[in-house]
Amino acid sequence: MKLWIAKCFLLMAVLAGGGQAAAQANLEINTPGIAAIQGSMQKRHTELAPLYGSGAVGLTRDGNVALRDPASVPLAQRAAVNTLIAAENQDRAALYREIARANNHPEWEAEIRSTFGQRWIDRAQSGWYTQNAASTWVKK
């Protein structure tokens, strides 16, 4: 009986805390800030797409992008690719933050990030590399 009550409380805590953001956050919300970030990401995508295709860059579980296979990027282009990745991750962090802010729940940022992380991975084109639950690179 006691265990059952404890389980109920645990379930309630999970629903009230962690699950709430994903369930209630409006991920499609639009503000000028979000539009600006999305515009900047969209512009960058034309440069990132061939790197996803070649497997040089992959999508991480935590909603970022990462240099998966450095050896496939010539040294002369390494800095530009690293800059591209850093800028993309900066935008992604800003996007998660802005969406949380626009939902009037800045504290949801981490969960919005993980929801988006899964979303990007689900939407990745075949042939791209994404991280699985064990953070291992898998070709989609």
Contacts to another protein from residues 98-127, by CB under 8 A: 98
DSSP classification of residue 125: P
For another protein, the binding residues in 59-88 under the rule CB under 8 A are: 67, 70-71, 73, 75-76, 78-79, 82-83, 87
In angstroms, what is the minimal distance from the CB of 33 to another protein?
4
Instruction: Name the β-bridge partners of 129.
Output: 139
CB of 101 to another protein, least distance (A): 10
CB of 100 to another protein, least distance (A): 13
Are 65 and 57 in contact, with CB atoms under 8 Å apart? yes
Measured in residues, the chain has a length of 140
- Give the strand order in the sheet containing 137-139: 65-67, 57-59, 129-131, 137-139
Contacting residues toward another protein, per CB under 8 A? 31-37, 40, 67, 70-71, 73, 75-76, 78-79, 82-83, 87, 90-91, 94, 98
